[in-house]
Amino acid sequence: MQDPPPRGETPDSGPIAPMCNPKGSPSQQDDDSRGGEVMRSLDDLPEDICRRIHARMSLQNAARLACASHTFWRSWRCYPNLDLRQRILGLNGDHISKIDHILQNHSGVGMKKLRIELFDCDKVDSCYINSWLRIAVTAGIEELTLYLPATAEDEAYYSFPCSLLFNGSENSIRYLDIGICAFRPTAGLGRWRSLAILFLSNVLIADDELEGLLYNCAALEHLGLLNCPEIVCLKIPCLLRRLRVLRVSICRNLQVIDSNAPNISSFQFSGSLVSISFGSALQVKNVHMECLEFGQSNIVLHARTKLLSYAPNVETLVISSPNEMISTPTLSRKFLHLEYLHISLIGNEAISPDYDYLSLVSFLEASPRLETFILEVRQPSMEHESVIRNASQLRRLPQQRHTSLKSVTIVGFSSAKSLVELTCHIVENATSLERLTLDTSHGCQSSGGCSVNIPQRRYYTESGALEAASPYMCIPMGEDIIMETVKARLAIRVHVTGKVPSSVMLEVVEPCSWCFGVEDVDA
């Protein structure tokens, strides 16, 4: 057994801050004396207690403690959670050799989690990666995250040794997250009996290879695919009865999602619209869809016309569309369970003036249980007909009571006549409305509004839950949009405020000083 390294160095020979102050003043000497007593007390603890204490510490703190205690030095060689990202290690030197040194000196006992990300590294010799994986597999790893360096288009991806994972970890591994590699599982490898979460990011894997892999992952609960260019038809077998969360993002050649997993509850999709089928599954409750290509928008239209065919019981719907062109039609089919609706309309330039915001009433009429409605309009300029320039009679639709709607927020509120008409319709027909927020802070198309006031978006956690995301940063607005903000406030005063019942809290949000390009403004 090696002795602990000198104080001031971690077990991987990397520099860290010393645990004690250099001897100098009497108070510093007293601190050193007390620190020595603490270290001797720690060395007297039973080894299993030390391991439990060590396992609850961060990687750097665990390394520091191992520098000061023989007992914790031995425990370090069994440390269970190795997060070897460069920013965690605080390294500026040779990241590869540091990782290799740590893993080669690990005893192979007790390792549960291993996370390695090599984004900032040059090409890594595959013998290193194979060696690290072999150590992890031998240790009975439960959670493995491995991201390889980015490669040039003409360079071959690292070929992940799939067979190695079926040489000891097929019964232990629960979480696998790999990126920037080729993953080629072959028939006959065996089954992953415990794998619950699988993420593939920038991974080369063909349709039949992925389908065969999924057939051997009966315990899978969460599947995420990001930028997997070889996938054309994603087939998910019915035996995945535990699968609850499906996330598919930017798989540019994908054409079909055909799932027969019966219990998917959360579905997140971003990319070009594809054919989607969930078979007889009726459990899909949370849907988040984002269209990323400006040449193929109309995802709001897709949600209104096709989503009910594969998610008839959706309760939470978040949709984002670049420059929606076609107004939302009125249909007989209803979202009988929808309670939360967030629509983002994004204009690379201005939102098409042909788009009729009032047509979104179709969504409200089709959602009798809707409680929260958020409309987010992101555009660098407004080209719709302004209610300020044309104060003719506002359109009024036939009376339709929205008896469940309690909270409405419109971010990027403008003087667009059809948007004012939509707002007035909601105020006059939402009999249970409690709060109306009109946010006039437009910002740029990349900001989506003032970061102080914008409602937080929801995103999917690994468990499939929808949680609030961090707000956007403000970007100074141009002169045109500043003028539009003034018009929007005028439109609210003239056309909306007088219609709001006293029981409804009306909040009009204005841009902050950062939005106007001023860092500090006197109150």
At 224-265, the pLDDT tens digits run 999 999 999 999 999 999 999 999 999 999 999 999 999 999
What's the pTM? 0.81
Q: What is the pLDDT of residue 90?
A: 63
In a domain, 195, yes or no: no
Q: What total number of domains does the chain contain?
A: 1
Whether 456 has a pLDDT exceeding 70, the answer reads: no
Q: How many CB atoms lie within 10 A of CB 108?
A: 15
In a domain, 461, yes or no: yes
Whether residue 219 contacts residue 241, with contact meaning beta carbons closer than 8 Å, is answered with no
In a domain, 501, yes or no: yes
Between vectors from CA 63 to CA 76 and to CA 125, what angle results, nearest 5°? 80
Look at 128 and 231; give whichever has higher pLDDT.
231
Q: What is the pLDDT of residues 155-182, one digit of tens each?
A: 788 899 888 887 766 778 999 999 999 9
In a domain, 155, yes or no: no
DSSP annotation of 386 = B
Q: What is the pLDDT of residue 80?
A: 80
Q: pLDDT-derived band of residue 422, with 50, 70 and 90 as boundaries?
A: very high
In a domain, 401, yes or no: yes
Tokens encoding 463: 């468990």
In a domain, 351, yes or no: yes
Q: What is the pLDDT of residues 182-194, one digit of tens each?
A: 999 887 777 888 9
Look up the domain containing 390 and give its range: 317-518
- 32-36, 168-172, 201-205, 363-367: range with lowest mean pLDDT: 32-36
Q: Cα separation of 160 and 114, whole Å?
A: 16
pLDDT mean across residues, the chain = 80
Q: How many CB atoms lie within 10 A of CB 364?
A: 23
Q: pLDDT-derived band of residue 429, with 50, 70 and 90 as boundaries?
A: very high
Partners of 233 in beta bridges: 256
In a domain, 424, yes or no: yes
Whether residue 258 contacts residue 240, with contact meaning beta carbons closer than 8 Å, is answered with no
In a domain, 61, yes or no: no
Whether residue 473 contacts residue 446, with contact meaning beta carbons closer than 8 Å, is answered with no
**Averaging pLDDT over each range in 38-42, 81-85, 154-158, which range is the top one?**
81-85
Q: How far is CA 70 from the centre of its chain?
A: 42
Q: What is the pLDDT of residue 139?
A: 79
Whether 59 has a pLDDT exceeding 70, the answer reads: no
Q: Cα separation of 239 and 426, whole Å?
A: 45
| Residues 89-100, mean pLDDT to the nearest whole number | 72
DSSP annotation of 369 = T
CA dist 73 to 4, 43, 51, 68, Å? 6, 10, 10, 8
Share of the chain above pLDDT 90, in %: 42
Amino acid (1-letter code) at residue 503: S
Burial 335-344 (b: 16+ CB within 10 A, else e): bebbbbbbbb
Q: What is the pLDDT of residues 461-487, one digit of tens each?
A: 545 555 554 445 566 667 777 888 889
* Residue ranges of E strands in 451-499: 458-460, 466-468
